Structure 1
Amino acid sequence: MIWLFHGEDELTRSEELLRHRASLGDPTVAGLNTTVLDGRSLCHSDLVGACAAMPFMALKRVVIVEGFWSRFESAEGGKGKGRAPKVSEADQKLMAAIKETLRTLPDTTDLFFSESRALKPSNPVFAALPKEPGKVETRQFTLPRPRELAGWIEARTKSKGGTITSQAAEELGRLVGGELRQLDQELDKLLAFVNYARDVGIGDVHSVVSASQPDDIFALVDAIGMRQKPKAMQALHSLLNAGAAPQYILSMIERQIRILLQIKEMKANGVSTADIQQALNIWHSWVMEKNISQAQNFAQSALLRFYSRLADVEQETKTGVMDERLALDLLVTELAA
């Protein structure tokens, strides 16, 4: 079976991947039967080897390729609007080889392509996927719009076995914004605070939840880019001491670097600020202005290097190779050195 998961809702997309991995059974067995490949540096031989391997003490194995097809997305709006992305000869050969691999994928392998942005219909993935009924499933994970956020919070609370008033949901969304992973973390705190015994009210939100501090993330990214290690470590520990989960911090840094990369790409293609804001689903103009200012501080090569290192750290922490807080300390120390 082949799955294409794409879209900006990283939380739900990650949970779906975890659910499929958990279906393999015992966590140790699931780990032995899961392979994660970085799509930005994907080699065809690595994909073939991972897909062809037989499951160990399980009926299936899972192969996850992260971020391969997003490489072939064109910019939104401006000069790049409606223009097919340029694909090198080497990538054309790679995609042709992958298309053949998909056609002959063993029944014992579930292959997932996970993309952190929504793919347009012109993306070559849709031509590469097999057309046989029942062999491919595509899912797009879209972030809730601002007017939908309170409803998302209420539904998420219910899925956790609790309830929240509409007013409290509105206030939580106002304080935290559209960062779903942080919202999820705050809901866990709130439900523990009321002990699942009553509705979460607006007073509970004011007692437990602090307003989101995006400047902490901007300060962290700024300090890394300017090689100011003491400031970077201070910003990191400020986030940790405020109760931010390590995986949340990693996801925020990854998101910020990805946004800056997309801004640089779209600006280079002549896309207007308004079109960039709409394409990136950034709600507030002042956040957009700060992001543009941030993007001007970095060379694209530096941002790509940061992004690659983040992928390594994410895999190390998710697989238990390294403690999350220690991994963050080492990551920030390395990037800001």
Structure 2
Amino acid sequence: LIYGEEEYLMKDALDQIIEHILPQDDREFNLFLTDGENEDIDAICESIITPPLLPGNKVVAIKNTRLFQSKTSAAVLIKEIIENLEKDKQKAASTFMAFLDVAGWSFEDLRDGGWEKIPDSDWGKMVKGEVEKKREDWLPEIIKLCIYLDIKQRFNSRDTDRLEEVLEGTIPGGNSLVLTADKVDKQKKIFKVISKEGVVITFPAAKPKSGARKDLLMERTGKVLAKSGKRLSPEALQELGRRTGFNLRMSQKEIEKLITYAGDKETIDKRDIDAIVGKSSEDSIFDLTAAIVDKDTEKALMTFKDLLNQGVHYMVILSMIIREIRFLLQGKILLKGGSIPSFHQRMHYRDFQNMIYPGLKELAKKMGKNSEWLTGQHPYVVYNNLKNSERYSYDGLLEYMERLVDCDIELKTKGVNPKLVLERLLIYMCS
């Protein structure tokens, strides 16, 4: 069990454990990986006691499990729901389903005004006076959101008896269960069983600007950069930390962009940080489109919220998503048409800038293409879109364009909530 508040470190620990136990070639058949929203205890138990398809080790990994939550977590979960109703609706809906699990309530019983039938005494026992906001101020809203997003209640976290029996019994040699969780109730039997039969690793939150967090950022970014033959200057490291609040996950994302941007240059300096890392609306648009390409729903929704907070109109956001998909389509056409046969996904940005981009500019002139086309963009934009276009099929990109056109019409002609429409669009595109 890996638990705590340092999400990046927990993910890194999970990846390292899987890498240590299971060779890459065996993971297609011997790795059972799922998320807490979709976990099924019977399926987990069957997977643990079943020998691997290929000879060797087998890993059953559950990310963000709900197994360790209990009624003592209810008030904390409600606070998270309320906090995320505005900034991260997908997370709010997911957390609400976790709350229903620990409360023992059915979503079907609460919808259509059913929540009003919960006796005040039952509600009081659940929240224990720790939630200031009245339920009528947020409960109807989260229920409507779950209906709109088509979120289903799939799991009852109380039914852990069978899993406890399996873990206390005989598991086939070479089979491993790895779980990650942000919060745990140490009084639950399942926690005590895992503590006795297995290993528990915790990553408590470090203070954002503490020396430990800075040292950790230096260590982690150093490892990533070393694999690419690069390093950060001391000034660049300090500036990166200042702009990201020494947040490991955010810093990691920025490092990936910096590695690409630096090309063959070994040392990333403060000028590179100034050029790439920031919180302007352009940076956030870059992050949003990158999240869509990476199919990272959580990041896409979070970045969408950042853009709204920066005052960017929802139609501008939609137009930028349309623009990105159009560029990916144009990149796909260029690659399929053989216009740039020497380009490949592993090509460094500097090589692209020197060897490929001048030819593309000439091609654009001959074709009479204007600044609205991919070839009229900054070379870094062209480079990224060509790379990313290879991750999609031509038909898949056309399907996205059709969905975007439908979304544009819906926003312009119907009295709909634009935030919900775009959030649903992002969830669809990242699925």
In structure 1, the partner of 2:167 is 102
**Closer, same or farther in 2 for the Cα pair 1:334/1:253, shift >3 Å?**
closer
2:254 aligned to 171, 186, 192, which one?
Answer: 186
Equivalent-residue separation in structure 2 for 1:247 and 1:50 (angstroms): 28
Where does residue 75 of structure 1 map in the other structure?
75
Counterpart CA distance in 2 for 1:214 and 1:122 is 47
Shift of 1:69: 2.5
- The residue aligned with 1:63 is 60
Q: One-letter code of the match for 1:128?
A: V
Where does residue 152 of structure 1 map in the other structure? 216
AA in 2 matched with 1:147: K
1-side partners of 2:47 and 2:173: how far apart?
13
- Which protein is bigger by CA-based radius of gyration? 2
How far has the Cα of 1:251 moved from its partner? Answer: 3.5
* CA deviation map 1:230-289 (0-9, x unaligned): xxxxx6xx5455x557448423257799xx9xxxxxxxxxxxxxxxxxxxxxxxxxx9xx
Aligned to 1:170: 238
- In structure 2, do the counterparts of structure 1 residues 256 and 197 end up closer, same or farther at CA, with 3 Å as the change threshold? closer
TM-score of the superposition, structure 2-length normalised?
0.46
Q: CA deviation at 1:196?
A: 5.7
What residue in structure 2 maps to residue 48 of structure 1? 45
AA matched with 2:266: A
Structure 1 counterpart of 2:29: 32
Please state how far the C-alpha of 1:8 moved relative to its aligned partner.
Answer: 3.1
Q: Partner amino acid for 1:333?
A: L
Alpha carbons of structure 1 residues 97 and 336: separation in structure 2 relative to 1, 3 Å: closer
Q: Residues 69 and 157 of structure 2 are in contact (CA less than 8 Å); yes or no, is this contact kept in structure 1?
A: no
Do structure 1's residue 19 and structure 2's residue 13 form an aligned pair? no
Distance 2:78 2:297 in 1: 31
State yes or no: 1:211 paired with 2:276.
Answer: no
CA displacement at 1:100 relative to structure 2: 0.7
Higher helix share: 2
- State whether structure 2 residue 297 is matched by structure 1 residue 250: yes
- Match in the other structure for 1:305: none
**1:5 paired to 2:74:** no
Q: In structure 2, what is the Cα distance between the partners aligned to 1:74 and 1:150? A: 34
Is the 1:102–1:130 Cα contact (8 Å) retained in structure 2?
A: no
Distance 2:62 2:78 in 1: 30
* Secondary structure in 2 matching 1:113: strand
Report the AA paired with residue 155 of structure 1: E
- CA shift for structure 1 position 179: 4.5
Deviations 1:109-167 (A, max 9, x none): 1001121x133534554233252xxx411112345422134333321232121432343
When residues 239 and 19 of structure 1 are mapped into structure 2, their CA distance, relative to the original with a 3 A threshold, is same
Task: Sort the Cα spacing of 1:154 and 1:41 in 2 relative to 1 into closer, same or farther, 3 A.
Answer: closer
CA deviation string 1:203-224 (max 9, x = no partner): 22112323366995xxxxxxxx
Alpha-carbon distance in structure 2 between the residues aligned to 1:214 and 1:16: 33
For 1:92 and 1:210, the matched residues in 2 are separated by: 41
CA–CA distance in 2 between the matches of 1:248 and 1:176? Answer: 22
Query: What is residue 317 of structure 2 aligned with on the other side?
Result: none
**Change over 3 Å in CA distance of 1:61–1:335 after alignment to 2:** closer
CA contact under 8 A between 1:29 and 1:56: conserved in structure 2?
Answer: no
Question: Out of 199, 202, 206, which is 1:140 matched to?
Answer: 202
Aligned partners of 1:181 and 1:248 also within 8 Å: no
CA offset at residue 35 of structure 1? 1.0
- Opposite residue 103 of structure 1, the aligned amino acid is E
Q: Secondary structure at the match of 2:236?
A: helix
Distance 1:248 1:118, change over 3 A: farther
- Name the CA shift for 1:336/1:62 in 2 (closer, same or farther; >3 Å): closer
Q: Which consecutive aligned stretches of 4+ in structure 1 deviate over 6 angstroms post-superposition? A: 254-257, 324-328
The letter of the residue matching 1:251 is E
What is the rounded CA distance, in whole Å, between the counterparts of 1:43 and 1:126 in structure 2?
A: 17
Paired with 2:291 and 2:172, the residues of 1 have a C-alpha distance of: 41
* TM-aligned CA distance change 1:86 to 1:33, over 3 Å: closer
Provide the TM-score with structure 1 as the length reference. 0.56
Q: Take 1:110 and 1:177, find their aligned partners in 2: how far apart are those partners?
A: 36
Aligned pair count? 243
In the alignment, which residue of structure 1 is the partner of 2:323?
Answer: none
Question: Structure 1 residues 110 and 164 mapped into 2: Cα distance closer, same or farther (>3 Å)?
Answer: same
Query: Equivalents in 1 of 2:235, 2:188: separation in Å?
Result: 41
Aligned with 1:59: secondary structure?
coil
Q: The residue matched to 1:203 in structure 2 has which SS?
A: helix
Unpaired runs of 5+ residues, structure 1, are 80-84, 217-234, 261-286, 291-322
Task: Look up the equivalent residue of 1:141 and give its one-letter code.
Answer: F
Structure 1 vs Structure 2: percent identity of aligned residues? 17
Q: Amino acid of the residue matched to residue 146 of structure 1?
A: P
Contact map agreement 1:24 1:30 (CA 8 A) in 2: no
In structure 1, distance between residues paired with 2:206 and 2:295: 18
Cα 1:78–1:246 change in 2 (3 A) is closer
